Structure 1
């Protein structure tokens, strides 16, 4: 017995793609004659297709004044969606056509902060060593709710099970210490002590930002790990700026606006370059949380993925942050 398939409402309600294609060309050039030339058809064919589309949608898409045309409000809305869809279809078709000759491609997903401060400083060496691999970076602060259709080959985050079908390799613990610009430290030498930190401008990652990056990149938590009971916003002489964007906090630190908690894996290059300096000696290594490299199991034999994984783990080991190596500073057990 043949199983009856219910009509797909989206496909059933979809207007003619030929008509939509004519509309997109006419909307792009705002001229039916030029649209006809672009599609190698007659101007009459363009006009007919657009009339059919307007009848199908039940709205007017163009205002016609003599030979000139302009989009109506409905036309603008439909053009924005239709043009983007055609671009995506054209690019997908091109990728398929070039699949036998194109470079290997790898899609990596990580936080905006990790992309800006870790990958951007190190990927150039990967590119120079692997010119046959193209890398796509997708950044998000919400790894558990990715956009539909986004299927990264690699995740770099603190979630050990990013999603089903991925295998995770533990990387490093979070090593946290205060940082600021050399100019700010020069103008505020007292901040080199824990007492001085309590009476200065503290750049703090808000709860939402911490939930996406690291819960303990928080001044109250960090000072508590140093044996100091500190309540943000209630201490005399202190000023706290909160933001859920770690990139913004780093930019404010670079602009001499205060002291931020530095996540070692992100701020180390800026310290090496002299753009930031560590404030005092205290630091905390949190061992209740780890970061992971997660890769799609379906692509575990993929040459590009294997090349990147090896390169990435070597960089981590070189920086002495791989799990199992000796870690300095005060540690907090889970």
Structure 2
């Protein structure tokens, strides 16, 4: 049965024109004439039987249907491009996975372990993208996500299933220059120190002080950093004390670049999960899941 599909040339022209809101700029990007782009878009509108653009006093604008279709076309073209680049990169050999992961977890924990995955599965190619929040798998080319969150947040991620990988302990760390006589301090003393904050976890310090039974009015005050890697760098620079997941600062603690400011770890509410869509699991993802679960036990 023949598929009812428009030409990729028409879709390319439409996507560029929709993004630029201009046939002229789309033509410049695609190295075509303005007339060629206009004809391709007109042919697409005729094929669909739906107007995608409307004329305005200032030029042209997408219709509501055109704006919605442009978003969908852009996702499909991006996916086709990723698939083509992936196949060319593998030269048709082996299999690949595209994983979304929180950035610091990727650089501090996952990537240093990937050589062991390559040794076990030399034909498996792993691509990494960063993501700190849930997303719709149907809108991306991502196969699974290595994600940190609470069970409640996980339940709200529709259309997914998850494998628990490991719990997270957090610990106050700082530059050794900040410790008097090089000795850790009591929790109450930390309440007076500059506290480095994680922007995605604004109540982390308050929860830690509450667990220690310490009244800390300034628990949510201090400079905020989007990534744990930024927070670790700020702590090493002596800007304050950071409440860090221990698995993300193992190298800094081992080298002495960071030291434990107060030896009171707290089991965080968040844990690490492998999240995947509720579809039939590809063999490549099954192999990765078995490997990463084994790494969590090391």
The aligned residue for residue 66 of structure 2 is: none
Mapped contact 1:110–1:155 kept (Cα < 8 A): yes
TM-score (ref. length: structure 1): 0.61
Aligned counterparts of 1:173 and 1:222: Cα–Cα separation in 2: 16
Mapped contact 1:191–1:200 kept (Cα < 8 A): no
Q: Is residue 101 of structure 1 aligned with residue 95 of structure 2? A: no
Mapped contact 2:167–2:270 kept (Cα < 8 A): yes
1:117 is displaced (CA, Å) by 2.5
Mapped contact 2:188–2:214 kept (Cα < 8 A): no
Q: 2:186 aligns with which of 184, 193, 213?
A: 193
Q: Aligned in 2, Cα 1:141/1:18: closer, same or farther, shift over 3 Å?
A: closer
Q: Secondary structure at the match of 2:163?
A: strand
Q: Which moved more, 1:148-157 or 1:101-110?
A: 148-157
Residue correspondences, number: 265
Q: Aligned in 2, Cα 1:197/1:90: closer, same or farther, shift over 3 Å?
A: closer
Mapped contact 1:18–1:49 kept (Cα < 8 A): no
Q: Secondary structure at the match of 1:298?
A: coil
1:171 is displaced (CA, Å) by 2.9
After superposition, residues 119-138 of structure 1 pair within 5 angstroms as 119-138=110-129
CA RMSD, Structure 1 to Structure 2 (Å): 4.5
Q: 2:283 aligns with which of 293, 303, 309?
A: 303
Aligned counterparts of 1:53 and 1:165: Cα–Cα separation in 2: 39
Q: Deviations over 1:4-24 (max 9, x none)?
A: xxxx9xx99x99459779989
Aligned counterparts of 2:75 and 2:135: Cα–Cα separation in 1: 26
Q: Secondary structure at the match of 2:201?
A: helix
1:232 is displaced (CA, Å) by 1.3
Q: 1:270 aligns with which of 252, 263, 279?
A: 252
Structure 1: gaps (5+ residues): 1-7, 36-45, 60-72, 75-80, 319-334
Mapped contact 1:19–1:52 kept (Cα < 8 A): no
Q: Deviations over 1:254-288 (max 9, x none)?
A: 222211001122222332343322223222224x5
Mapped contact 2:175–2:236 kept (Cα < 8 A): yes
Q: Secondary structure at the match of 2:28?
A: helix
Q: Deviations over 1:113-163 (max 9, x none)?
A: 322322233223323443311112232222156682344334433354443
The aligned residue for residue 49 of structure 1 is: 36
Q: Aligned in 2, Cα 1:51/1:106: closer, same or farther, shift over 3 Å?
A: closer
1:220 is displaced (CA, Å) by 2.0
Aligned counterparts of 2:142 and 2:296: Cα–Cα separation in 1: 24
Q: Secondary structure at the match of 1:142?
A: coil
The aligned residue for residue 169 of structure 1 is: 163
After superposition, residues 31-70 of structure 1 pair within 5 angstroms as 49=36, 52=39
Aligned counterparts of 1:83 and 1:285: Cα–Cα separation in 2: 42
Aligned counterparts of 1:120 and 1:193: Cα–Cα separation in 2: 35
Q: Secondary structure at the match of 1:143?
A: coil
The aligned residue for residue 205 of structure 1 is: 198
Q: Secondary structure at the match of 1:294?
A: strand
Q: Is residue 139 of structure 1 aligned with residue 133 of structure 2? A: no
Structure 2: gaps (5+ residues): 17-22, 46-52, 61-70
Q: Aligned in 2, Cα 1:183/1:96: closer, same or farther, shift over 3 Å?
A: same
TM-score (ref. length: structure 2): 0.67
1:173 is displaced (CA, Å) by 2.6
